Structure formats: C-alpha cells, structure tokens
Amino acid sequence: MSSILVLKDVVKTHGQVVAVNHVSLTIERGEFFSILGPSGSGKSTLLRVIAGLDIPDSGTITIQERIVNADPPHARPVNMVFQQYALFPHMTVFDNIAFGLKMQRQTQPCIRAAVEEMATLVRLEGKLQRFPEQLSGGEQQRVALGRALVNRPVVLLLDEPLAALDQQLRQDMQAELKHIQEEVNTTFVCVTHQQDEALLVSDRIGVMAAGKLLQVGTPQEIYEQPVSSTVAKFIGLSNSFSGMITRTKSGICWIEQEHFPLMMARCPKGLVAGPVFVVVRPEHIHISVDQPCNDYENTLSAVVHDVAYHGHEVFYYFCLANDSIWTARVPRAEVPTPSLVVGQSLFLQWAAHEGFALSD
C-alpha cells in the first residue's frame, strides 16, 4: 500500500477554540478510514481542512505526494459528501449526478455513460428522471454519493453521511457504503460519531476527542487495546473501575479497590504502579448464580438491576458494592435458567486477561 493522504501537525483554530490540535495522520490508498469522536471533537473541521474549505493555521496536507495547502477546494483531487446531502432540488437525479462532469465540459455521450455507470453502482437505475423530493432519504444519500464519485476523486470525504437516516436504513447503508467503496476502489475518509458504524465498515479508525487524535488502529486494535480510558469508554460498551496497582507479573497486574477484593487484569508494558482504570467488556462477564466458579480469577458480588432483551442477545444490568452499574451481554442460547430476577444476588466473574488496565 502507498500513502495517499498525509496530514502533518495540522492545527486549526476558530477564535479561542482549537478545533484541530496538532493532528498527524497517514491514510493509505484504497482504505476505508473512519474518524470517530463525540460531537464537537473537531471531525468536520478536519475534513474541511483536507477539502480546502477551511485553511489550517499550521501544518501540511499532502495528497498523492503533493502539498495542497495553497490549492483551492476545486483544484484538490477530493470530493465531499455532507450529512444534509445538499442536492440541487430543481435538478433531476441525472442532472445532479452529471453536475461535476458538465462543469468540466465533458461531451454528452461521456456524461451519459458515466452517469449511467454511477446510477448502477448506487442502485438508482430507473430513477434518473426523478427530482430529489420524489426520493426517500436513503435514495437521496445515494444520489449525493453518485454525484461525489462521478468525477473519480482520489479521496472521498464523507461527513456523517448516514446520520440523517433511521436506524434500520442506516445499517443497510453501512454495508452498501462499504460495498461501493470496494467497487470503486477509492479511498474513503468517513466522519461519524456512531461507533458501531465505524467498527463494522472501517479498515482503520482514528479516534478524536477535543481536537486531538487519540488513537489510530484497526477496529479490533481500538476495541481490544484502547490506549486510554477515553478511547475505551467511547468504543463499545464497557464496565470499569478505578484502583491502584499493587504488583505486576508477566503482563498481569493486581489492583486494589476500596469496595472490591483484589482484582487481576492485563497490564500494558510500562505500567508498574499507581492509579489505574480497569475496563472489562460486557461479553466477558460470566454470571455465576449459586456460587463462584473456579475458572475465573476475578469475582464480584452483584445484584440484578435490570434485564433487557435485544433479539439474539440479553443485556443484564447489575449493581455493585461501589454503587456502579455493570452490564453483561449474554447470547440468547446461553442465558441462565431459571431466569434472573431483579433484586437477585449473584456473582460476576471474568478471567484476568479479559480485563485491561489503563493508566488514566
């Protein structure tokens, strides 16, 4: 793979707000890269800087080995898809998709061929003569995609492209977006605040908070080896507690906590003493009803607080001795029988390597 987009120490302020704070990032050709972060973390500003819609205070943006800082948006080999689609309401689907090519003064036959190819890709054949208001939200978003891809950008920037769609449609479109990206083999940089969306479709994810890029990695790396508690809390559901490391040995640490017995967790290199934050994912919690089982190093007493059925999975919520609420996710086929009841006392257990300690 070769790098297609390189950001080096990019800073962008809006008045007093540092929207993008010294971000460096390398994106490879053909990647589906997601930028994930809470609202206000600087995701849109970062995309706008890449697109040339915002001028950075400092730092460089290199696309295909050329520094583009001085280039206006239309001279950069990128295109952008916005959450609000921004279609031309008085133009048909055909004319919306053809717009960029007409601006380039391509010939009619070329334009027709390219638009028809795009319409097939985004599954809008047969709808080319409709106007945007005659389309569903999902179809409008596909027009926006077709319009942005038709002049073959080197990088497609997508700012929360699925945010305006309802849950079911969003899930369908996630898969479709990935399929389209693979089909056109274009680099996608997609901003989202939906972690499930990012984990599902991305080759790599960059997690942003308060203007800073906290971690870049594959979905698996970000989920299983978050570098900080901020990342861990933002990606996936997690149970957590704070404590003090008392001892470490072979990548495992022992943690003291006021309300819990001595706990054991996976420990990153370099963490040897002091305060830590321990994360345990809900799918790693084992529920023992009558007595603790000897297979797990960690055991906590808990009381059933609530039960929620999610189709093929059941989510159990428990109240612990320190008054925090923990979650366990159990596949439908493995739920305890008889059913757990609210108020019931039992034990939550997990293996030492299934919890991980983080330094903040």
Ligand X SMILES: Nc1ncnc2c1ncn2[C@@H]1O[C@H](COP(=O)(O)OP(=O)(O)O)[C@@H](O)[C@H]1O
C-beta separation of 50 from 208 below 8 A: no
Half-sphere exposure of 6 (CA within 13 A, CB side): 10
Using left for φ > 0, alpha for ψ between -120 and 50, and beta otherwise, residue 250 falls in: left
**Secondary structure, 3-state, 75-122:** HCCEEEECCCCCCCCCCCHHHHHHHHHHHCCCCHHHHHHHHHHHHHHC
Largest CA distance in the chain: 77
Partner in contact with 321, chosen from Mg ion, ligand X, none, beta carbon below 5 to 8 Å by kind? none
- Residues in contact with 134: Cβ distance below 8 Å, sequence separation at least 6, in sequence order: none
Among residues 4, 5, 7, 19, which is the contact residue for ligand X, using CB under 6 A? 19
Partner in contact with 17, chosen from ligand X, Mg ion, none, beta carbon below 5 to 8 Å by kind? ligand X
According to the binding rule CB under 5 A, does residue 34 interact with Mg ion? no
- Nearest distance, CB of residue 153 and ligand X, angstroms: 21
Stretch that binds Mg ion, among 44-52, 140-148, 316-324, 340-348 (CB under 5 A): 44-52
Rg (CA), the chain: 24
Alpha-helical runs (H) found in 225-273: 229-234
Among residues 41, 96, 229, 238, which is the contact residue for ligand X, using CB under 6 A? 41
- Nearest distance, CB of residue 44 and Mg ion, angstroms: 3
- Nearest distance, CB of residue 169 and ligand X, angstroms: 22
- Nearest distance, CB of residue 52 and Mg ion, angstroms: 17
Stretch that binds ligand X, among 35-43, 81-89, 113-121, 341-349 (CB under 6 A): 35-43
Stretch that binds Mg ion, among 29-37, 43-51, 95-103, 330-338 (CB under 5 A): 43-51
Among residues 23, 32, 36, 37, which is the contact residue for ligand X, using CB under 6 A? 37
Q: What single-letter DSSP state applies at residue 176?
A: H
Q: In what order do the strands lie in the sheet with 298-310?
A: 286-288, 345-350, 298-310, 313-320, 325-331
- Nearest distance, CB of residue 330 and Mg ion, angstroms: 36
CA-to-CA separations, 49 to 70, 117, 267, in angstroms, rounded: 11, 30, 38
Which lies closer to ligand X via its Cβ, residue 14 or residue 66? 14
According to the binding rule CB under 6 A, does residue 55 interact with ligand X? no
Stretch that binds ligand X, among 39-47, 117-125, 171-179, 331-339 (CB under 6 A): 39-47
Residues that bind ligand X (CB under 6 A): 14-15, 17, 19, 37, 39-45
